[in-house]
Amino acid sequence: MKTFPIKQFSQRETPFYYYDTELLAQTLDTINTEAKKHEGFCVHYAVKANANPRILQIIAKSGLGADCVSGNEVQAALEAGFPAEKIVYAGVAKKDKEILLGIDKGIFCFNCESVEELMVIQQLAASRKKVARVAFRINPNVGAHTHANITTGLAENKFGIPMEDMEKVIMLSRDMPNIECVGLHFHIGSQILEMDDFKALSNRINELQDRLEEQGISLQNINVGGGLGIDYNNPDENPIPNFKDYFATYAECLNLRKGQKLHFELGRAVVGQMGSLIATTIYIKKGTHKEFCIIDAGMSDLIRPALYDAHHEINNISNPEGEKKVYDVVGPICESSDVFAKEYKMAETKRGDLIAIRSAGAYGEIMASQYNCRNLPVGLLTEDFRD
């Protein structure tokens, strides 16, 4: 099992997020090494997975671009040092002031999700006497083998433009004086572990590009979104996702045209495994048939188990070698869904032990709320615990 700086942890109030920045650095190295093996591959980090400013700074320094889904994310990315020309901005409900921010800062492109949005971008770009770059988010009607709430590429979906409208919107944009259409964008879902899903997306993009080619339309950029999953069951065995196979799948299956760039927007795969939510066992409560391990972290700190039925490994890091016992691991929030794991085998724990909920670096801290008037959890880095 991974070792944690327990002694230093015990001087902090729990719960808090612990980010292993050595693992983050190794992950970023692997991404850069593997992506550079393929011509024209550009990787962006999906800021929504974890927008902790210090984490963003580390990722910006590594050279990745940023994928944003709100004006505030664009702002956070710029503040963390991501260059504007490496920022892409998606989202179905971009407001005028958010679009203006992107135009004023000169971001690389808007991933445009509807004709209605395109018209507003044209209008706002004209008001600034600028040309806005857009890529159209096309809904490829490709399913992903993942949780229903995190699949986004099926036909009836609030995201993106239907495939049959693709030529129409591209033609429309060509007549707009303040719009430059620079490519197509796709995103089929999240926590995808089957390379076949990415292969299916590649095949669909090949069909669409053939269609465009027949009409003499060529585009500079293809953006395949994110979605590469992580191994929630084995964070110690698989701390770094298989970026090699992931990029190789696209290199092999997606037929890039000459000079075209292929963009990626990875969130979870970049930051998921570096993070653990550190909590303390408050009580061991004996029920009639089971024992509850009640900890001081709850769904307000990490909502994924309650929201998606997500599994996270849980370790008793104060007594890692202890005999295994079975617990329902639950939090303090007044909701029955405030459960991290049911009938979960964990080293025996007692009041005061430190507990690590693993693989919590993505969609953890950023989704926290103050429900029950709780404090927001803080994010602490490896370097905060050096003596």
Ligand X SMILES: *Cc1c(COP(=O)(O)O)cnc(C)c1O
6/369 Cα distance (integer angstroms): 26
Smaller CB separation from ligand X, 34 or 338: 34
Smaller CB separation from ligand X, 330 or 362: 362
Q: Is 283 helix (H, G, I), strand (E, B) or coil?
A: strand
Angle between helices 115-127 and 166-174 in degrees, nearest 10: 10
82/93 Cα distance (integer angstroms): 23
Judged by CB under 6 A, the chain residues 172 through 201 that form the site for ligand X are: 187, 190
Task: Note whether 48 binds ligand X by CB under 6 A.
Answer: yes
Min separation Cβ 294 and ligand X, Å: 30
Smaller CB separation from ligand X, 149 or 215: 149
Q: Which two tokens stand for residue 27?
A: 């992950």
Smaller CB separation from ligand X, 196 or 335: 196
Query: Could you say which DSSP state residue 164 is in?
Result: G
239/232 Cα distance (integer angstroms): 9
Judged by CB under 6 A, the chain residues 215 through 234 that form the site for ligand X are: 225-228
Residue in 20, 67, 73, 113 binding ligand X, rule: CB under 6 A: 67
Which residue stretch of 41-49, 286-294, 328-336, 348-356 sits at the interface with ligand X (rule: CB under 6 A)? 41-49
Task: Note whether 68 binds ligand X by CB under 6 A.
Answer: no
Smaller CB separation from ligand X, 151 or 281: 151
89 — phi, psi (to 5°)?
Answer: -135, 110
What are the residues whose beta carbons fall under 8 Å from the beta carbon of 374, sequence distance 6 or more?
298, 300, 301, 333
Min separation Cβ 272 and ligand X, Å: 8
Smaller CB separation from ligand X, 48 or 86: 48
Task: Note whether 304 binds ligand X by CB under 6 A.
Answer: no
Task: Note whether 268 binds ligand X by CB under 6 A.
Answer: yes
Task: Note whether 46 binds ligand X by CB under 6 A.
Answer: yes
Min separation Cβ 186 and ligand X, Å: 9
Residue in 66, 90, 182, 310 binding ligand X, rule: CB under 6 A: 90
Tokens 């507990």 found at = 355
**Interior angle at CA 303, CA 302 and CA 306, nearest 5:** 130
28/32 Cα distance (integer angstroms): 6
Task: Note whether 266 binds ligand X by CB under 6 A.
Answer: yes
Min separation Cβ 82 and ligand X, Å: 15
**Interior angle at CA 264, CA 262 and CA 267, nearest 5:** 175
- Tallying the residues shown for the chain, one arrives at 387
Question: Which residues of this chain interact with ligand X, rule CB under 6 A?
Answer: 46, 48-49, 67, 69, 90, 187, 190, 225-228, 265-269, 362
